[in-house]
């Protein structure tokens, strides 16, 4: 099991700060991707959501999961852009706040050519915060 740090992740994900939302990642022996990201106190997305009671927006939780899903096909990403193709059955169960360590688990359920169908969960301290199915495409760079 190879653990990827932020520098390794930057070799295949095109995202950069402040939108690079995974800090370490690995694929276990069963082919399940795992990643972590600690929500910082000064994230751009919590400053206005909501002042005095910052909460990570659901769309950002989905983005954390999507970037984590890309780990499953990391070796195929060079020369391509990863783009959402769909979000299904997304459910939010608990709030994610600054200081929380997001722990994401992803599986690749199906592949059709360059279209990938994944299931992901985002937990904080073992509590489920977000889950759902994410679909993304690898689109060749022009």
- pLDDT (tens, 9 = 90+) of the chain, 142 residues, equals 789 999 999 999 999 999 999 999 999 999 999 999 999 999 999 999 999 999 999 999 999 999 999 999 999 999 999 999 999 999 999 999 999 999 999 999 999 999 999 999 999 999 999 999 999 999 999 8
Range of the domain at 126: 3-140
Scored b (16 or more CB within 10 A) or e, 1-16 reads: eeebeeeebeebbebe
The CATH number of the domain holding residue 112 is 3.10.129.10
The predicted pLDDT at position 124 comes to 98
The catalytic residues are 49
Tokens of 69: 């899903």
Domains in the chain, number:
1
Integer Rg of the chain from CA: 15
User: Does residue 113 come out as left (phi exceeding 0), alpha (psi in the -120 to 50 range) or beta?
Assistant: left
Tokens of 56: 């990570």
Q: What are residue 114's phi and psi, to 5 degrees? A: -100, 25
């Amino acid at each position: 099991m190879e653990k990827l740090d932020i520098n390794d992740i930057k070799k295949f994900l095109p995202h950069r700060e402040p939108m690079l939302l995974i800090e370490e990642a690995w694929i276990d022996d069963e082919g399940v991707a795992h990643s972590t990201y600690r929500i910082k106190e000064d994230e751009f997305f919590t400053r206005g959501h909501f002042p005095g009671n910052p909460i990570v927006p659901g769309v950002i939780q989905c983005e954390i999961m999507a970037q984590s899903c890309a780990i499953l096909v990391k070796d195929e990403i060079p020369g391509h852009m990863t783009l959402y193709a769909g979000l299904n059955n997304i459910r939010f169960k608990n709030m994610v706040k600054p200081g929380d360590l997001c722990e994401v688990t992803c599986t690749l359920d199906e592949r059709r050519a360059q279209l990938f169908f994944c299931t992901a969960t985002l937990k904080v301290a073992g509590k489920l915060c977000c889950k759902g199915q994410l679909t993304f495409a690898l689109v060749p760079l022009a």
